[in-house]
Amino acid sequence: METIRIVILSLSALMLVFVGLMRLSNPIKTYLKNSGIKLEKDASLLNEMRGVAAVMLCAGIIIALGTFIGKLTFTSHFVASLIFVGFAIGRLISLKADGKPSKQISQGIIFEIVLGAANVFALINLWS
Range of the domain at 109: 2-127
CB 9 within 8 A of CB 76: yes
Please report, for residues 9, 17, 91, 124, the alpha-carbon distance to residue 54 in angstroms, rounded to integers and kept in the order given: 19, 9, 19, 28
Number of domains the chain is built from: 1
For 57-90, the pLDDT digits (tens) are 999 999 999 999 999 999 999 999 999 999 999 9
CB 77 within 8 A of CB 70: no
Low-confidence ranges of the chain (pLDDT < 70): none
Dmax over CA atoms of the chain, in Å, equals: 49
> Which residues have CB under 8 Å from 90's CB, separation 6+?
none
CB 27 within 8 A of CB 53: yes
d(CA 125, CA 128): 5
pLDDT at 82: 98
